[in-house]
Every structure is written in structure tokens, then in C-alpha cells.
Structure 1
Amino acid sequence: MVEKILARYRFLHEIIVRPFSSSLRAFLFSRFIGVTLAIFLMVLGTATYFYDRLLSQQAQAAAEGIAAQTYTIINNLMPHGISREQLETVLDEIKAAHRDTPYQIEVYRSPLVSEIYGEIEQRIPFQATEKALAPGYGRKFTIENHTSTRHLYALTVEDQACLTCHPNAEIGSVLGIVEVKQSIRDMVARMRSDYLWVFVFYGGLAVALVVGITTLVINRVSSTVEDFRRKTQEIKTVTDLPAISRLSRAEVGFSELNEAFQAVGELAERLHDVAVDKDILEFEIKILNKFIITSNVVQDWQLFVKELLLDINNILDTYALLAFFQEGENEYELDVFWRATPSYETRNELEKLVQGQIYNQFQLASDSPAVRIVHHDCGSPVPLPKSLSLKDIELRTKSLFLDAPKVGGIVGIGVQSNMVMDSIYHIVLDSVLATLLNLVGSVKAIYKYTKDLEYYATRDPITQLHNQRMFWELLGYEVGRAQRHDYSFSLMVIDIDNFKTINDRYGHAFGDLFLQQLAEALRQAVRDGDFIARYGGDEFTVLLPTTTREQTISVAERIVKAISGMSVLTAEGIKVQATVSLGIAMFPEHGKSAKDLFLVADNMMYKVKGEGKNAIAEPEEAEITEIFKEESKTNFRVYQALEEKSIIPYFQPILDLATGEVEAHEVLMRIPADDGSMIAASDFIQAAGRIGLLHKLDHLLMEKTFAVVAKQNYQGRLFINLSPKSFIFPEFFPKIQKLSQEYNIDPHRVIFEVTERDTIRNVAMLKKFVTMMKAEGYRFAVDDFGSGYSSFKYLKLFPIDFLKIEGDFIRNILDDRDYMAYTKSIVTLARELGIKTVAEYVEDEKIINACRDLGVDYGQGYYIGRPAIGFSKLPARPADQQ
């Protein structure tokens, strides 16, 4: 039921109300007319009610008077004995007197009179009228309905005189009834017809006034609205918005509307300051869609920038786009991309502007020969103006500098001055510049990085020689080619004698310079076509294809002689010289695989070192047999240790120098020998790496270590050495997590150690591994920090928690000022980076006190405690007191 009512209401609203609400004119007119009609009907109804009531009261009073008068006349005539004819004459005269009035007079004869004088025709039978005069109603009575009013008076026998003419009656008998009937309907209808035209006249006048007032209001508002519509139709761009703001000065004639249009004008001004054209937004979206850097973009970045410049011209009249890059230490390149071919004068003007705005940021001389300017023509069909001055071009710039490798860039756009004066275009231009800066800078940087990656994927960055990875690839390739074509070749392994002392004493920068000079000496000593590689920190390899023994010896002697005669000046003017130990292996006499050849040459190199250095060694038959026998023996030990799970973890205590308590232990790997002694890791680690089992040893060591930790309920930290070769195995990380969960080892207590040299060699792989492990809560330490050949900036690449300072620095800290300075710098650097330091090779009380004075956090060495099967008690005592 309710739904039907609501449906009918909605239907009536749609049919009646909505058409009169669609416009302001219809709304005002309909409401004014509605109110007027409502007031008119209320006044008409009220007036009619009161008039009808007054008329009825007056008519009733008049009817009662006529009835009373007629009754009095008849009642007064009857005692005089008038004849029936006379009485009827009197009654006819009374009726005639009221014929044109709304009153009808009738006299009804009772049966008592009819009995004597006979029946007459009566409108209503006497009995029906007599009922109104029944006892309780009295001598007179009034009957009313919605059409008429009847006033009835009874003619009764009052005294004996009446009985003369009516002997059949008695005192009180009703002889007749006088009726005066009043027609109210006719009276009201006549009255309404009289005053209705008055109301119609005044109602029409009210409607006319409503129409007039509505028209006046609408005309005032419509003119301003039409002006507003015309202004809005003229808006094509954001710059047209100020036209609407002029509406705020329009005078509508109504204060409320004036305030409304003033607010609209103010809104237009604010929109003008913040709005952006649709074309500009579409342009930015189009540019964003192009920001997908693909290999094609990187390979031909200049074409990509040209296309960008042409796209920019669809929205901004752009003359040129500039990209300024730092290519080298003191080398810069400025690429200027012109929309179309510029004139010679225009090119010069732009270069002057660049010198004034860009060169200053780099503090370069305007004619600096280190800056190479390259102009590019984008080939737009829209030509540049024939002449452009500095006033016609405004160069807006942003800058970006990338730290590694050094690539600095500034991107600028030259546009018409009147375009950039608009605040919106300023915002858009800044956005475009920032985006282009990142895009062009990234593309150029990736282009440069890609070239560098392609180069350094096979090259050592310090010496520019081939790296270890390339060495093994070429060595394997040479072995296969020599087998197919049945020829011999040779391999040399070269180690610089005492280079560690040179590097530590004169610094890493000098060490790098020395390596570069040595690499150049090697290039001069070998033949064309021979392959030189930097195998490690101070180790080099030389591969001599299609070579006899005599040729190999000749080249080796030239190498030793060239390096022995080489000297490099330090900053203080000191000449530094070095010698090399060189081992030789021939294919196929000394080995038929790449690993066997390297094993023989490497052992020969160590043979030279053991016999006094600065010499050449080639293997004899017995030595080759012994080398492979020892290698096989070591390999067997590794296989046996894995098979029998006989690896034993040793723990060396690490002392908190501030509290004097042992807070951590370093885990060391040992294998039991046949005689019951323990074989140190240094005696089998390289062999395990060559046969690809090092990661399995690392995993087994962790499993054994965690078992001991759980058994002894050890709560301190664990420093565990890991080989970077373990990182390449995808199952290694899940195994570490499983072991930690199985033995309930908190990852925050586990610190993985990697050497500085391995950190540099495996940067990408180590970074990925460290990121995953750090996310799980494990921590990392750099072992032997200061022993490698990298700069300290590599610490920025990894979230390192601990630095273990190279033992040679600590051992000589009291006797050598340089070692003291190196140690201080390491401690200061670590403190600034929030990294804890650990001093290795702490061998006496003086050294531990010196380390404490320098601010070293932890100490490790034989004075604190030797490696042992179990954990040291807390607190620890010096080794000589245990």
C-alpha cells in the first residue's frame, strides 16, 4: 500500500512539479501563482462562509418576522367572525406581497376546519406538518436543511369566541398552521453571483502583478546569466579564465546575486592560478607513455631525445634541448638538440647563454677546452626564427649529479619568453624539465654504464687487464683448441713479492698506481697475441698460445727482468721497486685440463717464494707427480670429511674491550688428520674450492656449530667465515634459515664474515646475498679490512655491521707510525658509519691497551684466547693466564 502511494506521489511530482522547476522563470512564476491562488481561495472561502452565515441569520430573522406577522393578522381576524372568503382574500394578499421575495407563505387547514368548511388542496398534508407541532415543540417551530428554512406557527383555539365558528373544537385545538418557507440556496446563489466578479477582477490583477514582477527579476538575472554563458563559451584554454573574473563587477540588482557572481569571478581567478590546460595534460601523459627505457633507446639515445623535443613542441614553442654531462675527471660534453637547423649566429648566442648559466655551476672557464659541444638537428618542419637574441631565449635548467660513476648532467630548454611568464607554463615547464632530466640523464648514464659493464665484465678496473673470469674462459678455450689442433702452449702464474708491505706502507692509492705500472711492464714484456690477466690482488697470469718451452722461458725471463728494473716514485719522492715469483706449466706435458695446468703453475710460483723469490720455476716430472699426489690427498680429505661429517668447529673468543667480557666467538673449520692432529682450513680450502665442494663444507660447519651452540646453551654472538662461492648456490640461503629454526638460533647473533678482497671481486652477487640475509636479521662483517686494494667507499655499497681490522696493522701498531695512522683512520671511519670494529692479532697486553685507547670495540688474538673446541667462559682472561 505504501509503495503504491509513493509511486503515485512520484508520478504526480514528475507530471506537475518537475515541469515548473526546470528553469528559474518557471520556478518563480509557478511559485508566485501558486501562493496567489492559495491566498485567493482562502480569502474567497472565508468570505463566502461568513457571508452565507450572515445571510442565513438575516433571512431567518426576516422569515420569522413574516411568519409572526401573518400569524398575528390571522389570529386577530378570527375572533371577529370574518367569513371564509375574507380570510382567503387576506391570505392571498399576504402571499402576493411576498411573491417576488425568497419567502413562500402557506396556511394549512386542520381536519377540524375541513369537517365544517370542506377540504381544500394543500401542498403538504396537514398531518405531516402537524407532526412538527407535537407536544414538546411549542406553538412555533423552525425546520432547516441545506436548501431551505420552514417557520411554522399553529393557529389554536384561544377562547370561547372561537368555538362559535368552530363548535367541533375545544380550547387549545389546532385549527391551522401558518408556514413561511425561505429558499436559502437561491439567496446564496444570487449573492455569490454578485461578488464573484469582484474576486475575479482582483485575482486577475494579482496574477498580472506576479507576471510583471517575475519578468522583471528574470530579465535582470537572465542578462547576467547570458553574459556568463557567452564568456564561458569563449574559454578555450586556461589563459582565458580571467574573462570570467570580470563578472564580479557586474551589477545584477540583487545583493545576493552580486555576491554569487563575485564569488564565481574570484573562483575563476584562483582556477587560473592552479588549472592546467587539457593539451598540457595530454602532452604530459604522452611523454610519460614514452618513458619506457628499452635497449633501443639506450643504444640510440640521441634519436630518442630528438623525438622528445619534437613532442614538446606540440605544446611549448621550444627551440632547443641541452644535455650537459661529465664524461671523465675533467672532461665534459654538451649536446645541443635543435628543433630545426639553427643559424650560425643563433648557435653562438645559445652557447653564450650556456656559458653564463651552466658553466658557472661547474665553475668552468667559458672557453674551457675540456668541454666538447655537439649540435644535433631534429629536422622539424617548423623552422626556427631567422634571428634569435638572448632576449628571445630563456634557458631554464635543472641539475643532477650521480656519484658512481661520475656522471653529472644539466638539462635545459629554450622557450619564448612570453610563454614562460605564465605561472601555469612555469609549473609545466618545471615538470617537463624534471622528467626530462631524469629520463635523459638515466638514458645517457645507462648508455655509459652499459659500455662500462661490457668492458669491465672482462676487465680489471685498476690495470685494464683481463680479469679472473675471462682468464678461466680463455684458458679452457685454449685447452680445447690445443687438443683439436695438437699443439702446445704455456701458462705462467706471477705473484708480486712483498707487495703487501708496499701497499700497507705507502697506501692503497700508491698500491693501485704500482699495479698499473707493473701491468704496463707486463704488456711490454710479452709478445703480441699473448694473454695477460690479473688473477687476484697481487697475482697475474700470462697465457702464451702455440708456444714451445724455449719461447716460454724467454718470455718469463723478460718479465722478471722488466719488473725488477721498474721503479715507481711515491709522493715523497721515494723510489719503490719489487720483484716477482713466476711459475710455469706447459700443455700437455704438465697437465691436460685448465685446473691441472693452473695447479702446477701455482705450485711452482709458491716454490719460488719458498726458495727466495725473484725467480722462475718450471716443474720436473717428480714435482708434477708430488703436486697431483698432494692435491689428490687433499681432495680425498675433503670428500672424506663431507662423507663422514668429521668437520670440527673451533671457537676463538672475541673480547669486548670496554667491559672485558667475551661477547662473541669466531668459528673456524678443522679436519682431523690420521695422526689425531687437526688440519687448518688454510690447508684444504683452496682444494675444496677447486673441486666445487666449498659451499658444502660451509653448510656442514654451520650445522655442527649450531649443534654445539644448542648443546652448551651458548648465548653470545657467532662470527662465521663464508666463502663468496657459496652465494651462487640457490639452496644455500634456505639451508641457513632451516638450520637457524631447527636449533632455535636468533639470526641477530650470527655475523657472516667475508674478506675485503672477495667483497670487491663479487660486488653484485654479494650485495644480493647480503640484502636477503639482512632482511632476515643476520649481520655481516668485513674480514681483514685494509688488506685489499679497494678504497673505503665500497663500504657504502653494503650494510656492514663489523670491520675486522687487518692483523698486520694491529701487530705493528706500536712500532710503525703508518700502521697506527691506518688503524686510526679505520676506527674513525667505522665510528662515523656506525660500524663496530674488531682488532685481530692481539698478541700482548700493550696492544690490547693501545686498541682500547684508539676506540676499537672488540679484540681477538692469542693473548685473549686461542681457538678451541668449546666456548670460553665469561669473563675471559689473557691467554698466558689460562
Structure 2
Amino acid sequence: MGRWLRSIRLLIVGAALAVSVLVAVAMYWATTGVFERTVRQSAVDMSASLADGTFNAMYQIMRQGWSRAQLDEFLKTIRAQSNDSSARIELYRGSKVIALFGQIEQPDPDALVLSAFATGKTQTQMHNGMIRYDRPLIAEAQCLRCHTNAKVGNVLGVLSIAQSVGQITTKAHNELVSKLLIIMPIPLLAALMIALLLGRRMGRSIARLKNSISYLDRVEDLAHIRFSDAHTGFSELDDVLIEVDGLTDKIRHLAVDRNLLEFEIHLLERFVITSDVVRDWRRYVRDLLKEINTVQTVHGVFTAFAVGDRPANVELFWFDTINETVAASMSQRVKLIVGETLGQVATDFIPRQHSLDPSGRPTLENARQLDLRTKEITMDNPSIHGLVGLILPNTQNQSQVERLLVESILSTMLNVVGSVRAIEKHTEDLEFYATRDPLTQMYNQRMFWSLLDYEMDRAQRHGYSFGLFVIDIDDFKVVNDSYGHTFGDTFLCKVSECLHDALRTGDILARYGGDEFTAILPEAGEKECIMVADRLLARIRNLSMKTPDGHSVGVSLSIGIGIGPTHTDSARGLFSIADAQMYRAKLAGKNQFALPNPDEPLADLHDKPIEDQDILEALTEEQPPRILFQPIFAIGDASVEPLENLLLERVGMEVLAQLNIGDRWVMARDFLGMVERRGQAENFDRQLMKALICTQVATHCNGLIFVNISPRTVRAKSFLADIAHLMDTVGMARSRLVFELNERESLADLNLFDRFIEELHGFDFKFAIDQTTPGHWIFQHLRRHTVDYVKINVDWLTNRSQIARDRAFIDCLLGLARALSVTIIAQEIETAEQLSAARAAGISWVQGALFAEEMPLAELGSSDDEPTTETDTVL
């Protein structure tokens, strides 16, 4: 059945056959129905006529007063006529007639006759090819003369006529069927001829369509499929073929070849940038050029990328063999395009040309037959302006699909090569900043150590000496805190430029950290190092910078010098020597350099560097730190002169801690930064407080105890409560404990710090601000918090005569402290000049090596209530 529905010819023949049969059946049904009704009606009409005639004849006889013999004769005549014709007539008497005139010979009345008697209406019936017509004989007025027992309207009798019509209808049916069987093949034959004609014409068109499709291998081949000139003989089929032409045109513009689609998918895979692509992107371009030529003819590719301020790097890759003329011509065209697109002078760069393996195609000899298609990209971070281009055959009949393919190839190359160049730039920046200080662009500490190790090995291998400078800017903290970090950064950059200009060509300058610089002087002995150090100091003295408020700030340096491998064959040991000499220069008055004393043992000049792992192991073992104390004194009478007669009273001690690391005691300030970075600050502070708060300290130390804690310990919720409980246990008054916090670090989280200060005073502890600077931060503290003590470095006081702004801050701070009952403590006093500056500022509490060095509890002694003269031990 499905095959009939799929074939037009079979469908037409089958439809014609079905229609013929249906028409014949319909004609037969309609004809036989009409014929039967006509024959039946004709038989009824004929029976009615026969009944009328019979009744009229009988009525005429009855009017003449017929006898019984006449009645019998009449009935015989009627029955004889019935035998001679197709109609059979019977007369049935009613009960009233039988009552008057008696029975006659008649058949038994059947149901139809009885119905006629009962209803008084004519009865008609068709049964088994017989028509029955039974008419009742109704009594009229004139009939009552003879039928005295009847009334008008009574049924006196029934005249029944039976007529056979079966033979007539059967003959008619047979003739009709024979005629229809003759007529039926005619539409079937006509349909078959039409199907053959239509199939032949459609077959030619389909064969042409199949033949055209058989040559269809690519989307471009759709252009050769044309049916507008085909004439099938049917306008409808011609319209269909014209629409097929339109469809092929649309498909040709919309569809993509499978191989092109697969190539596009492969291009998308090329977006994955692997380490191999980053390492050798030129190989990537060469491989991509080979793959492109499997679906599209591309003679060559060029890339041009300008990174930062550098000239564009132009690379030209050829897939086909070219002669020198074509190479020169295309190179010039590429240079012009790159120059116009990237805004650079074409003579600033020369395209680097690459040749692939021979493609097997003819050598390119005419540059005019080549066309360039380009695409550019611009990136801001990093700053990259790039261009890629394809060298294509110069053709005017390029399809839309080919144009899209070229665009996709350009986009892929641009994205991948551009991304690779951006990654290269980021990698260069990472490599640069991994070894450089981002502010001064000098080598950083990490690179410095690598270079120092390398120089030490090279000096030992080649037998020469070299110098190492550790350079520190004097009083930079004062400048930075007074004028802010922005000016401080500018200050550092200017100093670094001056240092770079003063060093020799080939010397290595690095920023070690903060305001500390290092310099490696290859192939330099003591004499050369002294010459360079003198030049550095002379240059830096002439450097002066304008501050934001219009003042001028000068610069001085403290330089420590070490000679390697003369002083030591260890890079870190040499740094320790130079670093110690730098501090020696500072103690000697700054603005100078220092070399190791030839008479001093070199073993005392440096120690083994402290490693982070050693510190962590020491903390993990939870060994108690060793506690040192530095006394804090109150000057009894500020008017006493000379200084040798000063009356000093010990009012407290600052706690300093040491930790046993690598079989030597190291001050906490040397490793505290690492401890904080590793998250061990709270642990160390708890160990320190546990070692400090004991019966011995409570007995021998009657004054205040100043302890510097990490700002990270402030976040510990139970720290203060645990310390209070510990002090109560040993019987030490809480009011004697003063917690110190660095000024700048305490401002990191003001809300948290507010809660800490409130809780601290709630436990009756005291609070001190350490490392106070001449800026507005200290005034923030004094405004927000209850501060008991403020500790300032004496350098701030000795330099105040140089900077009027600092002097105003100092005077304001001292006045505010007196108004708020805050005690000012001058610390790190090492010279009589510094003590005089503190006294001149009105500061009566002092601390420093001039009065007492750090010492253990056993050497401290007890404090008396009466003032004591410290002349012998102080000066």
C-alpha cells in the first residue's frame, strides 16, 4: 500500500480504478432504486386502474339487480382474466353482505385483507416480487337500497389484486450490470494513459535533477544546478523546478561544506593555548597554515605585534615557493600595511620571512596575483597592538562562505597569537617584577641574594675581590611619617636614581627593603670601594627635595662595606659584616661609611643567618624565652647641671625577649615579622607573658613593666583575661603592667582596637603608644582612647630644629600630653646630646643605652623608694 502512495503513476491508476468502481456501484444503486420505485408505482397504478374498472363493472351489474347466477358468472370472468394476465383478482365479502346474500367461493382473507376491512383504507404491499393492492368497498347511500343492514361508510367487501414484478426488475438489473461492465474500463484506460504521460515527463525532470545532484560535491557546485530552462510540459512542475533553483541559491549562500565545518571546529580547538603554543607560537602558525590549505588556498600568513613602545615584530610565513621579486614586493606591501595600521614608520622594521616545506604547487612569480586580507587587535593591559594577515589569490568571485572562512581564520590567528603575545608580555612582566622592586625598578632582595651568591662563587673561581655596600637612608622614617607615603615614595625614587648615577658601570644596585639598599661592586677592593662610597656620599649631599609644604629636605646615607671573599667566603656572612658596619656608621653619627677594623677578628663580625624553619621549631618546642629588662628612669631635677650630677629614679622596665635559635640567643625584634606572617604571634606573646609573670619578677621589680605585644594578639578574645588571672595568681598588681603597641599598626582596625583598649583598662592594665611619629596618627589615638604613656624616639627630638613643621607637632603633642596627663617617654637615648634634647623638650622620663643596657633579672637589682644617683653607672 505504501508503494502505491509513493508512486504518482500507480496512485493515478489506482485512483482511477477506485473511482470507476465507486461510480459504477453508485450508478447501479441509484438506477436500480429508481427503477424499482418506478416499477412498483407503475404496478400500483395499474392495480388501481384494474380495481376501478372491476368495481365499476360490478357496480353497473348491481344497479340492474343482479342474480346469484350473474354474480357467479362475474366472478368466474374475473378469475379467468387473472389467469390470462400477470394480475390475480380476488373478491372478499364482508359480514354484512354475507348476512344478506350468503357465502361465495373465496380464499381465506389474510392479514392485509383483514387490515383493509378493519381500517377501510386501501392497503399496498411489495413482497417477494409481488405487488398487493387491496381496496375496501365502502357502502354509499345508493348501496343501502340493496344492503339494508349496512350504513354509509361500512366496508362491504375487499377487492384484492396481486401483480408479479420480479421478472421485470431482475431483467432490468442484469441489463444494467452488463452496460456498467462495458463502461467501467474506459476511465481506467484514460487514467492509465494520463499516468504514463505524466510519469514520462516527470521522469525526464527527475533524471535531470539526479544527474545534476550526482556532480554535487561542494556547496559551490550548487551554482551549476539550474532548471529555469527546463520545460516539463506542465506549468506546475516548471514552477517547482524554478523554486528548486531559488532553493539552491539560498543554500549556496547559507550552507557550509562539511569539510569547512570540520575545519571550523578544528579552528575552535586551536583556541586552547597550551604551553607548547606559548613556547613556540611560530610552529603553531606554520602548522595552522598547512591545515588551512586543505580547505582554502592561502599562499602565506604574516603577523605583526607591537608590545609597549617597542617597534612591531613582523613575521611572514610562506606556504608556496616564491621568487625573490615576489618576496621583496610582498615584504614591502606588508611593511606599508603594518606601518599604516600600527602607526609606525615602515623603515623601523623588516619582516622576518619563514619558508615551509615545498607545497608542490607552482612557484609564485607575479605579486599582482596576490591579495592581502588583514585583521587587527588592540589591548590596553598589557599594551599590545597587533595585526595578522592572509596572502590569498587575487580573485573577484569569492563566495560568501569563503569570505566567512577567511574571517574565521583571521580571527583565530589573531586571538591565539595575540593571546600568546599577551602571555609573553605578562610573563616578561612577572619575570621582571619577580626580580625587581616595583617602586624603584631596581633589583629586589630575592634577586640580590642570587646575584651575591653568583658573585661570591665567581670571585672565588677567578681569584678577585668585590665589594658589598649596605646603604641606609638616615632619618627616612621621619620624612615618611611627616609628609606621607606618597612623598616618601618619591623621595626613595630620587635617592635610588642618585645612587645609580654615582655607581660605576657594571655595579649592581638593589633595594633590600624599606629605606635600605645594597650594591655589589664586582672586581673592587678596599680602595675602589672607598672611592665609590665617597662619591655616593658627595652626590647624595647635593640632593635636595621640595616637600609638599614648600620646604627643602636633604638626604644623608649610612654605608656599611664588606669585601668578599677577603672578609668571608659566605654570601650571607659578608652581608652580616656590611650590615653591622652600616649600623656602626649610624652610631658614629650617620652620613658616613664604615669598613671592618683590620685588628678586629672577622669571626666576630658575622653570625650564621637565622632561618625561618629554625624559628618555627623553637616556637613549636614552646621553650620559654629569655627575659631581658631595660630600665626607664625619671629625671628628678631638670635644672641640675652638669649632667653628671643628675638624680635618676627608676620608674619601670621595658621587657625585651630572646629566643634560643640555632644554639644562640636571638632578639625577638629580629624574627618577630616572620612570627607574625606565620600566624605564631599570639603563641609567642603568651609564652613571653608566662615567662614574665612569676614570683621573682613580682619581688625584684617594683615599678612599671612595659611589654610590647603584636597587633595580631589584640584579636585574641581571652588574652587579657588569661594575663589578669596569671597576675592575680602570683600576687602582682595589674596596674603595674603596661601594654605597648606600635602607633601605625594599632590603627589597622580602629573598631577592634577601641574594644581592646576598653577591655584593657577594664582589667586595670595600662596602655602605651610606641614608635610615635610626628604625624596626625598620635592625635587620633589621644582623641579616641585613654592613653597612659607615649614613647617617642629621641631622633625625632634631635632633628626637630631642622624641620619647623616637626617642631610645631612636637610642641603641640607635648602640650596636649600635659593637658591629658599623658606621660611622654624619650627612648633610645645613647648620647649626652640626645639627653639634652629630651630635657629641652620638657620630657622627664627617659630610656636608652646611655643609662642602662638590656640585662637579665639577676643583674637588675631592686628599686628603692628613694631617688638614687646614677652618675657612676650612667656617664
Q: Does 1:236 align with 2:223?
A: no
Asked whether the 8 Å contact 2:541–2:556 carries over to 1, the reply is no
Structure 1 residues 28 and 604: CA distance shift in structure 2, 3 A: farther
Q: Which residue does the alignment assign to 2:133?
A: 151
User: 1:672-695 CA distances to partner (integer Å, 9 max, x unpaired)?
Assistant: x9936799xxx9766412566575
Q: Does 1:375 align with 2:353?
A: yes
How many angstroms does 1:421 deviate by?
A: 3.5
Q: Which amino acid aligns with 1:411?
A: V
Q: Which residue does the alignment assign to 1:183?
A: 164
Could you tell me how far apart the structure 2 residues matched to 1:160 and 1:239 are? 111
Percent of residue pairs identical? 20
How many angstroms does 1:615 deviate by?
A: 1.6
How many angstroms does 1:109 deviate by?
A: 12
Aligned mate of 2:387, from 406, 410, 416:
410
How many angstroms does 1:416 deviate by?
A: 0.9
- Residue 385 of structure 1 aligns to a residue whose secondary structure is coil
- Residue 304 of structure 1 aligns to a residue whose secondary structure is helix
User: 1:6-30 CA distances to partner (integer Å, 9 max, x unpaired)?
Assistant: xxxxxxxxx6xx6664456666777
Q: Which residue does the alignment assign to 2:288?
A: 308
Aligned mate of 2:470, from 477, 494, 509:
494
Q: Which amino acid aligns with 1:557?
A: I
Aligned residue pairs, count: 662
User: 1:566-624 CA distances to partner (integer Å, 9 max, x unpaired)?
Assistant: 79999x9xxx999761244989999x998776455324213313433232233797999
Q: Does 1:431 align with 2:408?
A: yes
* More off after superposition, 305-314 vs 442-451: 442-451
Could you tell me how far apart the structure 1 residues matched to 2:747 and 2:623 are? 20
Q: Which amino acid aligns with 1:495?
A: I
Q: Does 1:355 align with 2:330?
A: no
Asked whether the 8 Å contact 2:577–2:605 carries over to 1, the reply is no
Q: Which amino acid aligns with 2:593?
A: A
Q: Which amino acid aligns with 2:46?
A: A
How many angstroms does 1:339 deviate by?
A: 0.5
Q: Which amino acid aligns with 2:296?
A: L
Structure 1 residues 249 and 345: CA distance shift in structure 2, 3 A: same
Asked whether the 8 Å contact 1:396–1:414 carries over to 2, the reply is no
Structure 1 residues 400 and 644: CA distance shift in structure 2, 3 A: same
Could you tell me how far apart the structure 1 residues matched to 2:10 and 2:746 are? 88
Could you tell me how far apart the structure 1 residues matched to 2:747 and 2:213 are? 74
How many angstroms does 1:307 deviate by?
A: 0.8
Q: Which amino acid aligns with 1:378?
A: L
Asked whether the 8 Å contact 2:314–2:351 carries over to 1, the reply is yes
Listed as ranges, the gaps of 5+ residues in structure 1 are 1-14, 164-169, 524-530, 646-672, 712-718, 725-735, 744-782, 784-807, 817-840, 849-860, 871-882
- Listed as ranges, the matches of 1:714-725 within 5 Å are none
Asked whether the 8 Å contact 2:467–2:564 carries over to 1, the reply is yes
- Residue 581 of structure 1 aligns to a residue whose secondary structure is strand
User: 1:698-755 CA distances to partner (integer Å, 9 max, x unpaired)?
Assistant: 99625626979xx9xxxxxxx985999xxxxxxxxxxx9xx99x99xxxxxxxxxxxx
- Listed as ranges, the matches of 1:398-797 within 5 Å are 398-401=376-379, 403-404=381-382, 407-418=384-395, 421-447=398-424, 450=427, 457-458=434-435, 467-472=444-449, 492-495=468-471, 513-514=497-498, 516-518=500-502, 520-521=504-505, 523=507, 534-536=511-513, 539-541=516-518, 553-554=526-527, 556-557=529-530, 559-561=532-534, 563=536, 581-584=559-562, 598=575, 601-611=578-588, 612-618=590-596, 675=652, 687-689=671-673, 695-697=679-681, 701-702=711-712, 704=714
- Residue 391 of structure 2 aligns to a residue whose secondary structure is strand
User: 1:60-94 CA distances to partner (integer Å, 9 max, x unpaired)?
Assistant: 12123334545666787894676999779745751
Could you tell me how far apart the structure 1 residues matched to 2:541 and 2:316 are? 43
Q: Which residue does the alignment assign to 1:66?
A: 50
Q: Which amino acid aligns with 2:282?
A: Q
Structure 1 residues 598 and 133: CA distance shift in structure 2, 3 A: closer
How many angstroms does 1:374 deviate by?
A: 1.9
Structure 1 residues 693 and 374: CA distance shift in structure 2, 3 A: closer
Asked whether the 8 Å contact 1:532–1:540 carries over to 2, the reply is yes
- Residue 615 of structure 1 aligns to a residue whose secondary structure is strand
How many angstroms does 1:389 deviate by?
A: 1.7
Q: Which amino acid aligns with 1:582?
A: G
- Listed as ranges, the matches of 1:182-261 within 5 Å are 182-195=163-176, 234-242=215-223, 247=228, 258=239
- Residue 675 of structure 1 aligns to a residue whose secondary structure is strand
Q: Which residue does the alignment assign to 1:298?
A: 278
Asked whether the 8 Å contact 1:393–1:415 carries over to 2, the reply is yes
- Residue 149 of structure 1 aligns to a residue whose secondary structure is strand
Q: Which residue does the alignment assign to 1:55?
A: 39
Q: Which amino acid aligns with 1:59?
A: A
How many angstroms does 1:410 deviate by?
A: 1.8
Work out which of the two has the higher radius of gyration on C-alpha atoms and give 1 or 2: 2
Structure 1 residues 436 and 203: CA distance shift in structure 2, 3 A: same
Q: Which amino acid aligns with 1:309?
A: L
Could you tell me how far apart the structure 2 residues matched to 1:350 and 1:145 are? 110
- Residue 652 of structure 2 aligns to a residue whose secondary structure is coil
Structure 1 residues 520 and 52: CA distance shift in structure 2, 3 A: farther
Q: Which amino acid aligns with 1:98?
A: S
How many angstroms does 1:300 deviate by?
A: 2.8
How many angstroms does 1:323 deviate by?
A: 1.6
Asked whether the 8 Å contact 1:582–1:605 carries over to 2, the reply is yes
Could you tell me how far apart the structure 2 residues matched to 1:313 and 1:392 are? 15
How many angstroms does 1:54 deviate by?
A: 3.4
- Residue 273 of structure 2 aligns to a residue whose secondary structure is coil
CA RMSD of aligned residues (A): 6.9
Q: Which amino acid aligns with 2:389?
A: G
User: 1:219-276 CA distances to partner (integer Å, 9 max, x unpaired)?
Assistant: 8877767766665555433334455687599898668994x77666555544444433
Asked whether the 8 Å contact 1:583–1:603 carries over to 2, the reply is no
Q: Which residue does the alignment assign to 1:277?
A: 257
How many angstroms does 1:317 deviate by?
A: 0.8
Could you tell me how far apart the structure 2 residues matched to 1:677 and 1:248 are? 110
Listed as ranges, the gaps of 5+ residues in structure 2 are 481-486, 546-553, 626-649, 657-666, 684-709, 722-742, 757-776, 778-795, 823-875
Q: TM-score, normalised by structure 2?
A: 0.56
How many angstroms does 1:32 deviate by?
A: 7.9
Structure 1 residues 278 and 693: CA distance shift in structure 2, 3 A: closer
Could you tell me how far apart the structure 2 residues matched to 1:321 and 1:623 are? 66
How many angstroms does 1:535 deviate by?
A: 2.5
Q: Which amino acid aligns with 2:711?
A: L
Asked whether the 8 Å contact 1:141–1:151 carries over to 2, the reply is yes
How many angstroms does 1:427 deviate by?
A: 2.1
